[in-house]
Amino acid sequence: MKYILVTGGVISGIGKGIIASSVGLILKSCGLHVTAIKIDPYINIDAGTFSPYEHGEVFVLDDGGEVDLDLGNYERFLDIRLTRDNNLTTGKIYQSVINKERRGDYLGKTVQVVPHITDAIQEWVVKQAKISVDDDGVEPQVCVIELGGTVGDIESMPFIEAFRQFQFKVKRDNFCNIHVSLVPQPSATGEQKTKPTQNSVRELRGLGLSPDLIMCRCATPLENAVKEKISMFCHVEPTQVICVADVSSIYRVPLLLEDQGVVGYICQRLDLPIEMRARKMLTKWKEMSDRSDRLLEHVSVALVGKYTKFSDSYASVIKALEHSALAINHKLEIKFIDSADLEPNTLQEEPVKYHEAWQKLCSADGVLVPGGFGVRGTEGKIQAISWARKKKKPFLGVCLGMQLAVCEFARNVLGWQDANSTEFHPESKHPVVIDMPEHNPGQMGGTMRLGKRRTIFKSNTSILSEGFHFVGQDVEGERMEVIELDDHAYFVGVQYHPEFTSRPIKPSPPYFGLLLAAAGKLQSYLQKGCRLSPRDTYSDRSDSSSPDSEIAELKF
C-alpha cells in the first residue's frame, strides 16, 4: 500500500480537498486502484449535527455515514463508493480508545496520547486503506489521506505525530507528503509573497514531516523566481514546487497537476508500477473541461433554501446542477433565494428584499427546493412551489422540498388549508407528512433513515410519470419516495437525495430532468427514445445507460 498524506498551511479552506481528489484522479487514470481518507480534527463523532454554516453541507454515504463534504469530492472525482470509516475524527478515535480502556484492553496501563491515541490513528488508516471502494472489489493500491485544518493547530497535533511515526513504519518508498500552501499577492505591490509558505513548511518540518511536493495556491501562475525561492528555503527541488493557480473550473485542477509532472514524480518517489501512456479517463476530463469553457447557451435555476448565504451548504446540489447543465451544453446560472424573503412578513419589513427575491424567482428557467430542517422559511418555499406549479415552471423538490410540494398541493388544490408536516405543526388536522416510526426526536445525532436504499417505480409511464402521483415507494410500500404532477412540463419531488450520486460525466437523473425541462429540451429528449439515465462514465460504451427501467438504486 502506498500512502499520500495531504496537509495544509497558512489558512484553512485552501483547497486541500480538490487537490487530494485531483491527485487521486490522475493516479486512477494510470490504472491504479485508489481510495481516500479524510481526517477532521474536531471532537464531533461525525458531521451529522453540524449547521451548514459550520463546515458546509453534510455529505451522506451509501452506508448512511454523515461525513465532511470533501468525501463528496472524492466520490465525484474518483467515481468510488466510500464508507463512514473513510472519515476519521478526533471524536471517533477517542471514543474507540476509551471503549478499549473500559474493556480493560490496555491491562491497567496509563492511557496516553502517545502511544495509544497515535497508535489508534495509524491502525485505523492501515485497516481502512485496504477496503475496496470500486465495483470490482479489488483492494486499493494507493490511499490519499487529507488532514483537515492547518499545520500548527492544536487539534491536529496527535495526527501529525501519528504520521511522523507512520512514515518510518511503512518505510520511505510507501509514504509521501504533499503540503498545500498559500502564496498571497497583495494588491498594493502585486508581488507574490513566499514567506507564509516558508513559515508553514518550517513548522511542518519542525513537527517531523518533510514535504515531497509543495503545492502553492495562488491567484496567478507562479513566477520562476518565486518557485526557485520556495525551492531554496523549503529544501526541495524546483520541480517539486507545483503551481495551483485559480482556474475556470475545478475540473481543470487534475489537468494542471498532470501538466506539471505530478504523476511522474509520485510514481518515481513511491515506485509505482505504471506505464506512462495516453489515458482515456484524463482525455474525457480534458474534453469536459474544454467544453465547459466554450458554452454559449445559458439556463438559470432558482435555488430556494434557507442556507443560501454560504454556497458550500448546498455543495452537492450545486455540483449536480453543474453536471446536468454540462451534459446538455448549457452554462448554468444559479439564483440563490433565501426562502424567508418570499414570505409576506418580508414585504412589510423589508419590501426591497421581498421584491428582489420574487424577481429572481420569476426570471428563472427552473425552480429547485432542496432539503433542510426547521420551520423558518418553509412558508416561503411553499410560495415558490405554488408559483412553479401554477406557472408550469420546471420544478424539483428534494427531501423537505418534496414534502412541502405535497403540503402545497393539499392546501391549494384539495382545499385542506392547514395541511402540514407534523415536524412543523403536530396538531394539524391534515398531517400529510408524518414522522418516521424509527425517528427519535429526543436525540440529534444518527437518528435519520440514511444510506443507499431501493425505490420501486409503480408507474410504467413515469418520466422518472404523468400525474400528482406517488410514483415511487420504498420496498415495503410504506414510504412515498417520488411524486410527479399531471399536465406539467416537469414537476417532480423526491424524498431521497439524488445529488449525492451525481458524477461529472454521469449526471443524476432527477437533476438532469430539471435542466432538460428548464432548457426546453425534455420532450425532444424523450421522443428520441432516451431515458433519464446517466451515461456510463468510464466504460468503452460511453453512450450506454445504466439503471434498470423499473427499479433504480437510490440514496437518501
Q: Is 54 a catalytic residue?
A: no
Identify the bridge partners of residue 66 per DSSP, sorted by sequence position. 60
Residues 309-325 have a mean pLDDT of: 90
Q: Grid coordinates representing 244?
A: 495551483
Q: How far apart are CA 334 and CA 365, in angstroms?
A: 10
Q: Which pLDDT score is estimated for 448?
A: 54
Q: Is 298 a catalytic residue?
A: no
pLDDT at 516 over 70: yes
Query: SS3 of 495, please?
Result: coil
Q: How far apart are CA 464 and CA 466, in angstroms?
A: 9
* Tens of pLDDT, residues 93-130: 999 999 999 999 988 899 999 999 999 999 999 999 99
Q: How far apart are CA 360 and CA 351, in angstroms?
A: 14
In sign, the C-alpha dihedral spanning 403, 406, 412, 418 is: negative
Residues 23-42 have a mean pLDDT of: 93
* Tens of pLDDT, residues 485-507: 878 889 998 888 889 989 888 88
- The bridge status of strand 175-182 relative to strand 2-8 is parallel
Helix (H) or strand (E) holding 502: none
pLDDT at 82 over 70: yes
- The bridge status of strand 241-245 relative to strand 213-218 is parallel
Q: How far apart are CA 327 and CA 310, in angstroms?
A: 26
Q: How far apart are CA 228 and CA 354, in angstroms?
A: 54
Q: Which pLDDT score is estimated for 453?
A: 53
Residues 454-470 have a mean pLDDT of: 51
Query: Which of 213, 128, 222, 227 minimizes the C-alpha distance to 179?
Result: 213
Question: Are 252 and 244 spatial neighbours (Cβ–Cβ below 8 Å)?
Answer: no
Any residues with CB less than 8 A from the CB of 78 and at least 6 apart, and which? 21, 24, 25, 28, 34, 36, 133
DSSP code for 85:
G
Q: Is 101 a catalytic residue?
A: no
Q: How far apart are CA 436 and CA 42, in angstroms?
A: 30
Q: Grid coordinates representing 489?
A: 412540463
Q: How far apart are CA 82 and CA 65, in angstroms?
A: 9
Q: Which pLDDT score is estimated for 20?
A: 95
Instruction: Give the distance between the most distant pair of CA atoms in the chain.
Output: 74
Catalytic entry in 267, 399, 407, 484: 399
Helix (H) or strand (E) holding 204: helix 195-206
Q: Which pLDDT score is estimated for 545?
A: 35
DSSP code for 545:
B
370: preceding bond cis by omega (within 30 degrees): no
What helix, strand, coil percent values describe the chain, rounded to 5? Answer: 40, 20, 40
- The bridge status of strand 491-494 relative to strand 480-484 is antiparallel
Within 10 angstroms of residue 535's Cβ, the number of other Cβ atoms is 16
* Tens of pLDDT, residues 468-487: 555 555 545 555 677 888 78
Ordered by where they begin, the domains of the chain are: 2-288 (3.40.50.300), 296-528 (3.40.50.880)
**Angle CA(47)–CA(50)–CA(55) in degrees, nearest 5?**
80
What is the pLDDT of the chain when averaged over all its residues?
Answer: 84
Q: 46 pLDDT band (50/70/90 cuts)?
A: confident
Q: Grid coordinates representing 459?
A: 408507474
DSSP code for 485:
-
